[in-house]
């Protein structure tokens, strides 16, 4: 069913193909919105740019590294401290942000000298950090500064440092997804194979497409370690620069977010023969299947099953407590890319909520296809949404809660729709058995928080329920 039948009298005509409602028995290809195209100018898209996808999604979770933007200070400042990919390196990568702070005169006369000075200054200021990544921006790309040549000069002069260069300016693709691709390929071309690791297990993996949002990576690697698996590297949450140079020695690539990191897995398979296994750390069912698949690959299914049995016994009763109270609640599932299909079916199956709308900011057609296949009939699917469409959808669908990012989340709050941060989480991690219960608890608290009842209703006429057990889990 096309979006205009959803009573969108004022929508931009080109947008009609970007929003559809899932019909009964409808063939999915005709119900799919168009995806991964250039944003229509004037729609005030919620997307990020290709620089952001390369740097702020994939590059900067690396923990023992100075990350420099070669461009105007706003490019790096914009997202400083808004990300929550923590690390066990005292969060160095979150505490500091570095930029060459290009000004108009640098655009006219070039900024290579400025860049070289900045690199040296940053290394001098942090003598314990010997690794660096540098990101091109639209400004430095347009004037043609040769970042790779400057990086090489510094490496020749300071033999104890190593520098990675990412040429992914903002305009290098329709959205952040273009930047994911660029940095995946740049990393394997420049760095993989330049360090030889110490192998300590018969079962060695790279954990790929995992960014340690509020500790997701640490929860998952704990399961892997309990199975006797060596995690050679994580691409890139809580990841170490030199570990990621040794990715070529793993026996298996365990891939979590395929949208952002399937490219490097596919190249590792072609160049080094390492197989790719896609997994899902969200939800008891998908996570159990994932641990079993990894166990099966290495012939250690019994170890996987022992962990699953222990964790399910520990956490299932708490999940069921929330399921009882979340049953039938209406949810708009509005993340960026792959969380759409990681979550659509399993929040329904395991938490009992009804997904009334899905959207993706930058997902490809396949992401939307998987997402829409996994949600209920009648759900409204939107590609590359904007504020007006989100508002209209919320007014019409009347969700009990939406899962999305900060910007649309603030809009939702203004019309009294509770919002849960799908990107950075509220009280994560959300991966792992324990994490899934935390997610359920955050949904429960978002819906049942007394603050919404005070804001949304006339409390003199309405009783505030007293039997909610508010925030009692753990
Ligand atoms: Fe992958 Fe991500 Fe996502 Fe993504 Fe993102 Fe993210 Fe996301 Mo925000 S890598 S596609 S570019 S799962 S930052 S950790 S939450 S939009 S759905």
Q: Is the CB of 57 under 6 A from ligand 1?
A: yes
Minimal-distance CA residue to ligand 1 atom 16: 336
Candidate of 234, 339, 408, 426 to mutate for ligand 1, largest count of ligand atoms within 8 Å of Cβ: 339
CATH of region 204-306: 3.40.50.1980
Q: How many CB atoms within 10 Å of residue 263?
A: 18
**Residue 423 CA to ligand 1 centre (angstroms):** 6
- What pLDDT is attached to residue 270? 98
Mean pLDDT of 68-92: 89
Closest CA to 425 of 413, 436, 433, 414: 436
Q: Is the CB of 70 under 6 A from ligand 1?
A: no
Which of 44-58, 208-222, 370-384, 445-459 ranks highest by mean pLDDT? 208-222
Of 5-19, 350-364, 368-382, the poorest mean pLDDT is in 5-19
**Residue 215 CA to ligand 1 centre (angstroms):** 15
Q: Is the CB of 423 under 6 A from ligand 1?
A: yes
**Residue 363 CA to ligand 1 centre (angstroms):** 10
- What pLDDT is attached to residue 406? 87
Minimal-distance CA residue to ligand 1 atom 6: 423
The atom number, within ligand 1, closest to the CA of 361 reads 16
Does residue 217 surpass a pLDDT of 80? Answer: yes
Pairing of strands 19-21, 98-99: unpaired
- Give the model's confidence band at 283: pLDDT under 50 very low, under 70 low, under 90 confident, else very high: very high
The atom number, within ligand 1, closest to the CA of 405 reads 8
Q: Is the CB of 260 under 6 A from ligand 1?
A: yes
The atom number, within ligand 1, closest to the CA of 363 reads 10
- What pLDDT is attached to residue 460? 47
pLDDT in tens, 6-46: 555 566 777 878 888 888 876 665 667 777 888 888 888 88
Enumerate the domain spans of the chain. 50-173, 204-306
Q: Is the CB of 211 under 6 A from ligand 1?
A: yes
Minimal-distance CA residue to ligand 1 atom 7: 336
Q: Is the CB of 281 under 6 A from ligand 1?
A: no
Candidate of 52, 57, 366, 420 to mutate for ligand 1, largest count of ligand atoms within 8 Å of Cβ: 57
Give the separation between CA 172 and CA 12, rounded to whole angstroms. Answer: 26
pLDDT in tens, 332-343: 999 999 999 999
Minimal-distance CA residue to ligand 1 atom 13: 57
**Residue 259 CA to ligand 1 centre (angstroms):** 8
- Give the model's confidence band at 392: pLDDT under 50 very low, under 70 low, under 90 confident, else very high: confident
**Residue 232 CA to ligand 1 centre (angstroms):** 23
- What pLDDT is attached to residue 461? 47
- What pLDDT is attached to residue 79? 67
Q: Is the CB of 339 under 6 A from ligand 1?
A: yes
Higher pLDDT, 224 or 390: 224
Same fold yes or no, 50-173 and 204-306: yes
- What pLDDT is attached to residue 407? 86
Averaged pLDDT score across all residues of the chain = 91
Mean pLDDT of 294-304: 98
CATH of region 50-173: 3.40.50.1980
Residue 445: Cβ-neighbour burial (10 angstroms; 0-12, 13-18, 19+): buried
Minimal-distance CA residue to ligand 1 atom 1: 257
Q: Is the CB of 213 under 6 A from ligand 1?
A: yes
The atom number, within ligand 1, closest to the CA of 83 reads 13
């Amino acid at each position: 069913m096309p979006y205009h039948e959803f009573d969108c009298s004022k929508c931009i005509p080109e947008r009609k193909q970007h929003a559809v409602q899932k019909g009964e028995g409808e063939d999915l290809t005709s119900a799919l919105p168009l995806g991964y195209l250039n944003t229509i100018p004037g729609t005030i898209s919620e997307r990020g740019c290709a620089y952001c996808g390369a740097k702020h999604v994939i590059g900067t979770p690396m923990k023992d590294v100075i990350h420099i933007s070669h461009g105007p200070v706003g490019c790096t400042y914009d997202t400083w401290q808004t990300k929550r990919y923590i690390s066990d390196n005292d969060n160095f990568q979150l505490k500091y942000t570095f930029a060459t702070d290009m000004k108009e005169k640098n655009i006219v006369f070039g900024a290579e000298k400025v860049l070289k000075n900045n690199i040296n200054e940053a290394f001098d200021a942090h003598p314990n950090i010997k690794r660096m990544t540098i990101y091109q921006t639209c400004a430095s790309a347009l004037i043609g500064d040769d970042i790779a040549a400057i990086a090489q000069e510094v490496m020749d002069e300071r033999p104890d440092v190593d520098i990675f260069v990412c040429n992914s300016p903002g305009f290098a693709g329709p959205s952040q997804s273009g930047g994911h691709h660029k940095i995946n390929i740049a990393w394997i071309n420049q760095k993989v194979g330049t360090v030889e690791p110490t192998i300590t297990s018969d079962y060695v993996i790279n954990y790929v497409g995992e960014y340690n949002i509020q500790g997701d990576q640490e929860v998952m690697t704990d399961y892997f370690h309990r199975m006797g698996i060596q995690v050679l590297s994580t691409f890139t949450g809580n990841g170490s620069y030199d570990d990621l140079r040794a990715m070529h020695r793993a026996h298996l690539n365990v891939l979590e977010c395929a949208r952002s990191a399937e490219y490097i897995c596919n190249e590792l398979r072609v160049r080094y023969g390492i197989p790719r296994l896609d997994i899902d750390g969200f939800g008891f069912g998908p996570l159990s299947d994932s641990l079993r698949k990894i166990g099966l690959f290495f012939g250690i299914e019994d170890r996987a099953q022992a962990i699953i049995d222990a964790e399910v016994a520990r956490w299932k009763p708490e999940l069921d407590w929330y399921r009882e109270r979340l049953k039938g609640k209406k949810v708009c599932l509005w993340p960026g890319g792959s969380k759409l299909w990681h979550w659509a079916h399993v929040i329904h199956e395991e938490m009992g909520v009804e997904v009334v709308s899905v959207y993706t900011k930058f997902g490809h057609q396949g992401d939307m296809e998987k997402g829409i296949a996994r949600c209920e009939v009648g759900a409204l699917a939107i590609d590359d949404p904007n504020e007006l469409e989100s508002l209209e959808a919320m007014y019409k669908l009347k969700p009990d809660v939406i899962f999305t990012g900060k910007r649309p989340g603030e809009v939702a709050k203004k019309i009294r729709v509770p919002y849960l941060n799908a990107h950075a989480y509220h009280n994560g991690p959300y991966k792992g058995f324990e994490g899934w219960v935390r997610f359920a608890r955050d949904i429960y608290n978002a819906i049942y928080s007394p603050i919404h009842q005070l804001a949304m209703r006339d409390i003199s006429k309405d009783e505030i329920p007293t039997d909610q057990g508010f925030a009692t889990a753990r």
